[in-house]
A and B are shown apart, each in its own frame.
Chain A
Amino acid sequence: MPRSVYMDHAATTPLDPRVLEAMLPYLKEEYGNPSALYERGRAAKDALTDARGTVATLLGAHADEIIFTASGTESDNLAILGAARAHEAKGKHVITSAVEHHAVLACVEQLAKEGWRTTVLPVDEFGRVKPEDLAAALTEDTTVVSIMLANNEIGTVLPLRDYAKVIRDWKKAHNRGPLEAPFLHTDACQAAGALNLDVVKMGIDMLTVNGGKIYGPKGVGALYVRRGIKLRPIVFGGGQENRLRSGTENIAGIVGFAKAFELAQADCEAEGNRLAALRDMLIGGIQTRIPKIVLNGHPSERLPNNVNVSILDVEGEAVLLYLDAVGISAATGSACDSASLDPSHVILAIGRPYEFAHASIRFTLGRSTTKADMAYVLEQLPPIVEKLRAISPVKMQLDGTITGSTSAFVGDGRPHWEKH
């Protein structure tokens, strides 16, 4: 067996044993339904109340502002669809950014199909929306603005406070109260465990977090919704979660999520510093050992666990398969590795050519990551790249130009997803 180095923590994290410990009673003896009146039901309800309190405290929020869901995706759906539909009398316009997770982008696309006007804001070369672009996009009919706190692919941290201020100023100028549209939602799934998530300090209205990225269970998410903001549910039934998310609560999952969130936020700073040092060691090491490397994302305003580089002239999936053969798990933005066969929309949004997206490799570090793991990756990656570059007929330059003849390329050399 080769060494096993898991470097895909942005995809998901292993379950913390302390979290499992906290969950176990609710998977075994404490199986009650929190809606029930008897002892076993009350025990479940107490656990739910405690978990809600824990999550609220970590976000600087009130307990009644927390809605538990089944995923980050569901939280994003509830926030965007729920707020847009509840406030459609104000207008049918929503704003998001070009680097959002599909959980957000697909909601916005759905609203477009239902007749909403949608604005997808461009980002700078590091993946950040310019506050002035947001200011220019706000109109009388804007109901929801959804911009992520930190990007899952390239790790860039976005200045949410600046966006909140833009919206606050706009509301002041237009005599809109804090419970009137437009509302600011942020997907903080990647930021949890790495950044402070105080919703009041950030000045946001809705925030998404989930369990599977913070060493908690998969299949649990939470949505913070500021008191008094109306949402329309997307799941209907028994009226659980303040009538916003029907369905018997996943008590074990929710307890585990709260525990994981607590552990992650408590460790946030020390672990962040440790990971940032390892991250910079890996980025520096790759740049020193392999020629023709482009760093994707911001060099410093970046999640402490994210490394994303384009390794020119090689295709990402091929690199991943070779890395997997030596026990290293990583990710790519190459079209070949996506179900849709489209390259990463994030790498394209920061202005890189398609070739750079196909060549992008993401390593995301986590609690188990050590200095020895970095050394192992730095030892294994260069010969893999060298081998694939020897096989490759493509010779690109760092400025995106290609040396050699391109006249041989079929069609006009433009990819299928551009011919739409």
Chain B
Amino acid sequence: MSDDIRNEHTGERWVYSPTVKDHFFNPRNLLLEDPAAGEFDASGMVGSPACGDVMHVWLKIDKATERVSDMKWKTFGCGSAIAATSMFSVMVTENGGMLLTEAVKLRPQDVMKRLGGLPNRKIHCSVLVDKAFRKAANEWFRTTGQVDHIQVDGARVIDAATGVTDKDIEEAVLEGAVTLEDMQKRLKAGVGASEEVRTDIEQLIRFYKEKYYG
């Protein structure tokens, strides 16, 4: 595959980086048994088996410091999905644990960087772990009354005729759609039918293209 990752030390090419390989074959912070009631402070699950990726995370929060003291997870998905979840669990728990308010700001790009890169078409898979984490964090914020910290992954309808949102466009860009034509193929044939909307969509494509591919 053209987007294989090359190991800079050995020159070996593999579909994933050595770090991804390590986290895939030796996942950290796995939860193998179902948790006992009250064992964790919060949990969150996102994805769908039909789409090929499901992530479930469980958190322990230090009540005094609001730091993540433990994160455990289960994932149904491909190599990068498993590795990204594993790496994310390391990032939020290392060095005494991240502040929960900081951890919810982690984005797929941050995980990707620590993993030594992911093939372009795979970035979408790792997007899910931060969503699952935010869902769990929101549960914690709700139960502890910190409602102002709750973050919702909002979506704005860009094309009223087709109901396509900015999230749909972001995901499509992550999956490799970088022109209006790609977008129409991936989302809906009628996307951007009107001139006005088309300009909006093309702007968003440029924005996400730069954000993810530089």
B24, B52, B54, B82: the one contacting A409 at CB < 8 Å is B54
| Chain B contact residues, majority secondary structure | mixed
Interface residues of B in 126-163 (CB under 8 A from A): 128, 131, 135
Among B72-80, B97-105, B108-116, the stretch in contact with A: B72-80
A313, A335, A391, A411: the one contacting B27 at CB < 8 Å is A391
Whether A402 sits at the interface, judged by CB under 8 Å, is yes
A336 in contact with B74 (CB, 8 Å): no
Kindly provide the distance from the CB of B154 to the nearest chain A CB, expressed in whole angstroms. Answer: 13
A315, A321, A420: the one contacting B188 at CB < 8 Å is A420
B24, B49, B135: the one contacting A396 at CB < 8 Å is B49
A392 in contact with B76 (CB, 8 Å): yes
B187 in contact with A419 (CB, 8 Å): yes
Knowing A325-B25, A420-B188 are in contact, say whether A415-B77 is a contact too (CB < 8 A).
no
Whether A393 sits at the interface, judged by CB under 8 Å, is yes
Kindly provide the distance from the CB of B5 to the nearest chain A CB, expressed in whole angstroms. Answer: 13
B-contact 0/1 string along A324-364, CB 8 Å cutoff: 01000000001111010101000000000111001000000
Q: How many residues of A contact B (CB 8 A)?
A: 38
Interface residues of B in 43-62 (CB under 8 A from A): 44-56
Which residue of chain A has its CB nearest to the CB of B27? A391
Interface residues of B in 76-97 (CB under 8 A from A): 76-79, 81-82
Whether B64 sits at the interface, judged by CB under 8 Å, is no
Question: Across the interface, which residues of B come within 8 angstroms of A283, CB to CB?
Answer: none
A-contact 0/1 string along B20-33, CB 8 Å cutoff: 00001101001010
B78 in contact with A318 (CB, 8 Å): yes
Counting chain B CB atoms within 10 Å of each CB, the highest count among A313, A343, A402, A408 belongs to: A408
Whether B121 sits at the interface, judged by CB under 8 Å, is yes
Whether A413 sits at the interface, judged by CB under 8 Å, is yes
B76 in contact with A409 (CB, 8 Å): no
Question: Across the interface, which residues of B come within 8 angstroms of A315, CB to CB?
Answer: 52-53, 76-78, 81
B49 in contact with A402 (CB, 8 Å): yes
Question: Across the interface, which residues of B come within 8 angstroms of A343, CB to CB?
Answer: 52
Q: How far is the CA of A419 from the CA of B188 in the complex (A)?
A: 8
Kindly provide the distance from the CB of B100 to the nearest chain A CB, expressed in whole angstroms. Answer: 20
Q: How far is the CA of A335 from the CA of B125 in the complex (A)?
A: 11
Whether A314 sits at the interface, judged by CB under 8 Å, is yes
B49 in contact with A355 (CB, 8 Å): yes
A414 in contact with B50 (CB, 8 Å): yes
Q: How far is the CA of A321 from the CA of B80 in the complex (A)?
A: 11
Q: How far is the CA of A390 from the CA of B72 in the complex (A)?
A: 13
Whether B175 sits at the interface, judged by CB under 8 Å, is yes
Kindly provide the distance from the CB of A12 to the nearest chain B CB, expressed in whole angstroms. Answer: 16
Kindly provide the distance from the CB of A200 to the nearest chain B CB, expressed in whole angstroms. Answer: 42
B78 in contact with A390 (CB, 8 Å): no
Knowing A393-B54, A416-B51 are in contact, say whether A318-B45 is a contact too (CB < 8 A).
no
Question: Across the interface, which residues of B come within 8 angstroms of A89, CB to CB?
Answer: none
Whether A317 sits at the interface, judged by CB under 8 Å, is yes
Kindly provide the distance from the CB of A113 to the nearest chain B CB, expressed in whole angstroms. Answer: 12
Q: How large is the interface on B (under 10, 10 to 19, 20 to 34, 35 or more residues)?
A: 35 or more
A415 in contact with B32 (CB, 8 Å): no
A318, A391, A394, A405: the one contacting B49 at CB < 8 Å is A394
Knowing A408-B45, A410-B131, A416-B175 are in contact, say whether A358-B52 is a contact too (CB < 8 A).
yes
Knowing A325-B25, A358-B52, A394-B54 are in contact, say whether A408-B78 is a contact too (CB < 8 A).
no
Knowing A358-B52, A393-B54 are in contact, say whether A408-B46 is a contact too (CB < 8 A).
yes
Which residue of chain B has its CB nearest to the CB of A402? B49
B48 in contact with A336 (CB, 8 Å): no
A358, A394, A420: the one contacting B186 at CB < 8 Å is A420
A390 in contact with B32 (CB, 8 Å): yes
B48 in contact with A321 (CB, 8 Å): no
A334, A396, A411: the one contacting B48 at CB < 8 Å is A411
Interface residues of B in 1-44 (CB under 8 A from A): 1, 24-25, 27, 30, 32, 44
B-contact 0/1 string along A63-96, CB 8 Å cutoff: 0000000000000000000000000000000000
B74 in contact with A321 (CB, 8 Å): no
Question: Across the interface, which residues of A come within 8 angstroms of B202, CB to CB?
Answer: none
Whether B166 sits at the interface, judged by CB under 8 Å, is no
Question: Across the interface, which residues of A come within 8 angstroms of B79, CB to CB?
Answer: 317-318, 321, 336
Knowing A317-B79, A339-B121 are in contact, say whether A392-B51 is a contact too (CB < 8 A).
no
B187 in contact with A337 (CB, 8 Å): no
Q: How far is the CA of A355 from the CA of B52 in the complex (A)?
A: 7
Q: How far is the CA of A396 from the CA of B1 in the complex (A)?
A: 32
A314, A339, A391, A413: the one contacting B50 at CB < 8 Å is A413
Counting chain A CB atoms within 10 Å of each CB, the highest count among B55, B76, B77, B187 belongs to: B76
Question: Across the interface, which residues of B come within 8 angstroms of A420, CB to CB?
Answer: 186-189
A391 in contact with B75 (CB, 8 Å): yes
Question: Across the interface, which residues of B come within 8 angstroms of A390, CB to CB?
Answer: 30, 32
A-B contacts, 29 of them at CB < 8 A, read A313-B76, A315-B81, A321-B24, A325-B25, A334-B52, A336-B52, A336-B78, A336-B125, A339-B121, A343-B52, A354-B49, A354-B50, A391-B30, A391-B74, A391-B75, A392-B76, A394-B49, A408-B56, A409-B45, A409-B48, A410-B46, A410-B128, A410-B131, A411-B48, A415-B50, A415-B52, A416-B51, A416-B172, A419-B188
> 9 tightest A-B contacts by CB?
A336-B78, A408-B45, A413-B48, A317-B78, A393-B74, A354-B50, A415-B51, A393-B56, A392-B76
